[in-house]
Amino acid sequence: MNEYTLNVRKKTFKRESVLGFIFISPWIAGFLIFTLFPVLYSLYLSFTMTGEGGNLKWIGFDNYLRAFGERDFWLSVKNTLILSGIGIPIAQIMALMAAILLNIRMKYQGLFRTIFFLPSVVPAVATGLLWKWILNPRLGPINGFLEELGIAGPGWLMDPAWVKPSLILMSFWGIGGTMVIYLAGLQNIPDELYEAAELDGANSWHRLKSITLPMLRPVTLFNTIMGIITSFQSFTQVIIMLDMDGGIEKSGLVYGLYIYTNAFRDFKMGYASALSWVLLIITAISIAITMKFFKDRDN
Amino acid sequence: MIKTNKRRKVTVYIVAIFLSLLFIFPFLWMVSTSFKTQDQIFDAPMELLPNPFVTDAYNELFTETDFSRYFLNTVFVTGMTLLGVLTSSSIVAFGFSYFKFPAKDLIFKVLLATMMLPAQVTMIPQYMLFDKLGWVGSFKPLIIPTFFGGTWVIFLLRQFFDTVPREYAEAAKIDGANELMIFFKVYLPLAKAPVATSALFVFLWTWTDFLNPLIYLHDDHMYTLSIALHRIASGTHYPNWPVLMGGSLLMALPIIILFFTSQKTFINGATISGIKG
């Protein structure tokens, strides 16, 4: 290679790099302004409190220590973990069963899929109001139906013991989004595996246990992680169905709500920032545990 | 693939129909409530059909509340977001796909990593930033950031642009096209399907967004539908259910219509956002 072509190459390479950076510059700028700076500033804020005259005062780990001594902090952690720990596994099983059902060749398959999927695109505010109305203890259709059967329905959102079951019940209405991901996963399993198993005389339970579930493990892992991320940040439906305090006896006070009220009702920006970092850490730990759980079962 | 005898087939249908009814029932209850009178709700709560059938709830929404205004506000914010996210993201995605430049893979990995970051971490400093700029209480915090690209859309479009054969661009180059023309004349026209998928999901996310409008919109005349419905619902101790259900239905309707006109795109997008997101 002579010097001339080398120079031309260098020049085109440089030109290409510059153009590349120009094209992606909107994202770079947005990343610096709306993500990187906020992340760093949030970390800094988490070690401060707003003092007199609105000045930030460095207080070290006090926000974190204060959170660990706060009753509502632990309550919101507990509520979030209960809702996720019970809600996510059940929702996964239901979404998977729905996907298996709608993967069976039948007439009107498309229509059934549409019906199962549609609730998952309804706006969260509309879903929250609708279910608040459906679960109304006196005038709602669920308790009305139970009454016809001679059963006295529970107080649902009015009864602290029933608030969490109500929220979990409502979340089942939106499993369609998870279901279509399972459906895609099911369609990726080669038919030959089932045919071979059938020749070996495996019944449908065996086929589910030794082919479907193992082949779907990556999809299940993915869905579970997405479920964790969504569930840990859940906010909208809770504030719509209950209120800012998480309803009666704060039984629906979830972590997302606790951050929101501290930041935007009480304007404790430092404390709320510390809470958001705790959320990040709890989320990361939960995802790591989930991945380890799935990996262990692989071996 | 799966052998089904007749009895099993019947069982499958029965289960599917039963579950479908469970999924549909809440919709029916929403629609029917919105056409009922308050009296019927209290006197005969279990009747599914409105009797008498009235449109009082809708009249009330449009006369007693500023519903058409809320609707237009939502259309405005969603429209501007679509414009912002789609233009900026397609340019950025093309940049990532077409050019070679130092640290490209690392930068793209950072981009993917930001998708995992909980919104709560950036929400507070963003608010303080917009507050300093005097933007709180305006549409600016909802719209301006969208002109810097949307991560999911950049990811989706880059995946697509990577599949475009290089020869197309080379041919255009021989005809004297520069990179900007290659983007507009070669890549963008090919990307109709992924752009449509992106548009659909950006629409869905923006139309239904609650947290951002809640933080930034404080004047009644600027509310989007989600905030307006929340305020109408929490404004009184005894909620007017026909009005709330009518409002919820009107808010959900554009999405439901869109869903039925582009169902394939919806389901493909949900799968992509799932498996690859």
Q: Is B269 a residue whose pLDDT tops 80?
A: no
Average per-residue pLDDT for chain A: 92
Q: Do B46 and A273 touch (CB under 8 A)?
A: no
pLDDT for A229-260, tens place per residue? Answer: 999 999 999 999 998 899 999 999 999 999 99
pLDDT digits (tens, 9 = 90+) for A68-81: 999 999 999 999 99
Cβ contacts of B274 on chain A, cutoff 8 Å: 177-178, 180-181, 184, 222-223, 226
Q: Which residue has the tokens 């069976």?
A: A104
Q: Give the pLDDT band of residue A1 (cuts 50, 70, 90).
A: low
- Interface test mutation site (partner B, options A96, A108, A122, A180, max chain B beta carbons within 10 A): A122
* pLDDT for residue A227: 93
For the stretch B211-235, pLDDT in tens is 999 999 999 999 999 999 999 998 8
pLDDT of residue A297: 72
A6: pLDDT confidence band, cut at 50, 70 and 90?
Answer: low
The structural domains of chain A, with segments of one domain joined by +, span 3-45, 63-298
| Residues B102-125: tens digit of each pLDDT | 999 999 999 999 988 989 999 999
Q: Tell me: the pLDDT tens digits for A145-179?
A: 999 999 999 999 999 999 999 999 999 999 999 99
pLDDT-derived band at B273, boundaries 50, 70, 90: low
Which of A17, A117, A134 shows the shortest C-beta gap to B267?
A117
Q: pLDDT band for position B27 (50/70/90)?
A: very high
CA gap B212, B126 in Å, rounded: 11
For residue A298, name the pLDDT band (cuts at 50, 70, 90).
low
Separation CA A135–CA A7 (nearest Å):
74
Band of residue B276 on the pLDDT scale cut at 50, 70, 90? very low
Which of residues 92 through 151 in chain A touch B, CB cutoff 8 A? 98, 101-102, 104-106, 112-126, 129-131, 133-134, 138-141, 144-145, 148
Helix ranges (DSSP H) in chain A = 3-31, 37-45, 62-68, 71-103, 109-117, 124-134, 141-148, 163-172, 176-187, 191-199, 204-207, 213-232, 236-241, 255-260, 269-298
C-alpha R_g of chain B: 24
Q: Give start and end residues of each alpha helix (H) in chain B.
A: 6-34, 38-43, 56-63, 67-98, 104-114, 119-132, 140-143, 151-161, 166-174, 179-181, 188-190, 192-208, 211-216, 225-235, 241-261, 263-275
Does A26 contact B148 at a Cβ distance shorter than 8 Å?
yes
Range ranked top by mean pLDDT from B192-201, B243-252, B263-272: B243-252
In chain B, where the domains are located: 6-54, 60-275
Q: What is the pLDDT of residue A191?
A: 87
Check: CATH 1.10.3720.10 for B60-275? yes
Q: Do A125 and B230 touch (CB under 8 A)?
A: yes
What is the pLDDT averaged over residues B131-147? 97
- Please indicate if any CB of chain B lies within 8 Å of the CB of A84: no
Cα-based distances in Å from B268 to A210, B82, B220? 28, 19, 37
Predicted pLDDT at A3: 61
Reply yes or no on domain A63-298 having CATH 1.10.3720.10: yes
How many Å apart are CA A295 and CA A96, to the nearest integer?
20
pLDDT tens column, B60-74: 999 999 999 999 999
pLDDT above 90 for B261: no
